[in-house]
Structure 1
Amino acid sequence: MATAHRFISRRRLLANALLTCVAVVAAMAVAPAQAQSLAGKTIRIIVPYAPGGTSDILARALSGEVGKALGATVVVDNKPGANGVLGSDLVAKSAPDGTTLLLTDVSGLTSAPALGAKMPFDPAKDLAPITMITYSPHLLVVNPGVAAKTLPELVAASKAKAGGFSAATVGAGSAPHLASALFARLAGIDWVFVPYKGGGQALTDVVAGHAQVMFNGMLATLPMVKSNQLRVLAVSSDKRWPTLPDVPTVAESGYPGFLTGSFQGLFAAAKTPPEIITRLNAEFGKALAAPEMRERLMSQGAEPRPMPVAQFTDFLKADGAKWAQLAKETGIKID
């Protein structure tokens, strides 16, 4: 009997060992499956503005390469409305599976809450940061019918014109809107701000003369400057931009320390699995780092700035704190 008992015990031990091995192998198989869970799926990049703006241009430039790398179909879906809030809210409330992404100017998510805007979601809690995409300085442009050829001349003309110039802007709280508002405050001028659903529409109206002046991201604006549809007076970067060496900065035109721009970022819904966030971060980073892509974007006025998730998250926190401090110091609020 004792011998039979020892035989049964060994058999049970072998069976348990076999089950353990099967479990380990199964677990090892699950990890790659999770990492590849976007393959064969359709990924929507939501751009919360109308076509033709900086976010839209970037989303379309990157969608093909990222789609190939993921083995997925990536489509760009413009959802303008409520100053970018409509499209952002769609992503915040989407399924947290990585198939619905948001590509937008991050200032619309960090500055709006800091400046008192009411939003149907909490950007810090309801969206998962993936990576920064690019930095694009603003160009201060005017309709060619405006006589001013320099920034000081524009300020003088703005002060002399009854009612002030009309300034086109992409929604309340966006980086271009805040750049315009801050400059007008520094220069002591009154501009009538006209909001649009997207940068493309705003630029078109400045070209048509329905608005006279605009701060906007270089990526969307530079083609109209090169085609002489708009006249550029200044760039908002800390130093002159390589592709526009003859255009002075706002700072050197009489407003030291003036530095603004559009930081474009990529987000998913909160609670998206970390392995999906990591994979998206890696593939968008690779696409942005490719020499041809980098050269293409830099020539158009956008500097690729992919970064780790943690670094991007820290940037967003710092940017929100900056706008909160500005609101405290200047009293600027978004109604």
Structure 2
Amino acid sequence: MKAETSITPSVPAMARRALLGMAAVALLAGTSLPAHAQDAAANYPNKMIRIIVPNPPGGTSDVLGRLLGKELGDAFKQTVIVENKAGGNGHIGAAFVAKSAPDGYTLLLLDMSVLTIGPSVVTQLTYNPEKDLAPIAIPAYSPHLLVVRKDLPVKNIDELAAYARKSGKPVSFGTPLASISQLAGILLAQNRGFEFNVIGYKGGSQALADLSGGQIDSAMASVVATNQLVQGGKVKAIAVTSAKPFAATPGVPTVASQIPDFVTGSWQGLLAPANTPPAVLDKLQAAVQRIVTQPEFAKHLQDLGSEPSPMNRQQIAEWMRAESQRWGKVVKDNNIKAE
């Protein structure tokens, strides 16, 4: 069965609309907002801000949160702390923020796949990602890299598909179960007419360690997680899932060049509780956009293997709905369940 891959709008199209939207916000700021909204933005922030990261320290969200928190603290002249609330595959921390006071002082930073896949694979979420959280910005996007063991005789996804068909046995694919990487791998394999033998892991780092050691054939994870292994010659990159060639992975072909609109990856999003005043959300969005375009911060992102997304708040909300529908179909068609 072939799953559809064209539900989500292309990143370039979204980017163009985002830039227009941001320009409109800039023109209107301070002239057409109600007085109470202007007051909310003018007085914000006047106390400490917490950024909740629903993962253990040291991961991509944690590293980004601390970089972003420092810059926000400098911009707002307020203390910004990062607090790790791990557990429940990210949902414990996300639910905590969803139920926090909607005042802009408790924010959430996480891989957005927690929110776009969660409703499809977790039967009893205690919050609704679309209704209970308000997107602010996506300060970092890192596409997936499809990587294979270094001695696998393939250089691209067509050769991988041909190898899988010729060998007569499925290519092993290591991934955390019910994750964005598993769903992306399934979608890619179905489109190219071959099958992955999915090997479940508790974390992506464990799958990559086994791939480096030659115990499995392939894996898919963010450029942030994989690029150092590629550069060190421990694994081989054969495709990247960005809409266009990605700066951190020169020479690696995009999946989208063969499967139109196949764009996946780790979208690190900053969100607030729903009903946070729009003027406060706008102020946060503008601050993040200024930070991620600063040359030093942009270099930090590039060194990590990521880049900022120009989507504005409304576009992120639309993207979340589209992604939820896209992955919900893959989950249903393939009977994927969380452990």
TM norm. shorter chain > 0.5: yes
TM-score bucket (shorter structure)? 0.7 to 0.9
Look up the match of 2:99. Answer: 93
Give, in whole Å, the separation in 2 of the partners of 1:211 and 1:89: 35
Give the Cα–Cα distance (whole angstroms) in 2 for the partners of residues 257 and 286 of structure 1: 29
**TM-score w.r.t. structure 1 length?**
0.75
Match of 2:275 in 1: 271
Matched-pair contact (CA < 8 Å) for 2:164–2:194: no
Taking a change above 3 Å as real, the CA distance of residues 305 and 317 of structure 1, as seen in their structure-2 partners, is same
Distance 1:200 1:153, change over 3 A: same
Partner of 2:183: 178
Q: Which residue of 1 aligns with 2:146?
A: 140
**Equivalent residues of 2:144, 2:264 under 8 A apart:** yes
Deviation at 1:215, TM superposition (A): 1.2
Q: Which secondary structure does the structure 2 equivalent of 1:192 belong to? A: strand
User: For 1:316, which of 310, 314, 320 is the aligned residue?
Assistant: 320
Considering only CA atoms, is the larger Rg found in Structure 1 or Structure 2?
A: 1
Aligned position for 2:10: none
Using the size of structure 2 for normalisation, the TM-score is 0.74
Name the aligned partner's letter for residue 239 of structure 1. Answer: K
Alpha-carbon separation, structure 1, partners of 2:41 and 2:248: 43
Give the AA of the match of 2:220: F
In the alignment, structure 1 residue 168 sits paired with structure 2 residue 172: no
Q: 1:114 to 1:243 in 2, by over 3 A?
A: same
- Paired residue for 1:190? 196
Aligned equivalent of 2:293: 289
Q: Secondary structure at the match of 1:39?
A: coil
- Which range moved further: 298-307 or 117-126? 298-307
Q: Secondary structure at the match of 1:243?
A: coil
Cα separation, 1, equivalents of 2:37 and 2:243: 48
Alpha-carbon offset, residue 239 of structure 1: 3.1
Is the contact between residue 173 and residue 199 of structure 2 (CA under 8 Å) also seen in structure 1?
A: yes
- The Cα of 1:138 is off from its aligned counterpart by 0.8
Q: Give 2:253's match in structure 1, choosing from 238, 248, 252.
A: 248
Distance 1:185 1:29 in 2: 52
1:261 is aligned to 2:268: no
Matched, 1:66 2:72: yes
Q: How far is 1:50 from its partner? A: 3.5
More relative contact order, 1 or 2 (CA 8 Å, 6+ apart) = 2
1:35 counterpart residue number: 42
Deviates further, 302-311 or 151-160:
151-160
SS of the equivalent of 2:135 reads strand
Retained in 2: the 8 A contact 1:298–1:304? Answer: no
Aligned pair count reads: 302
Does the 8 Å CA contact 1:105/1:263 hold for their aligned counterparts?
yes
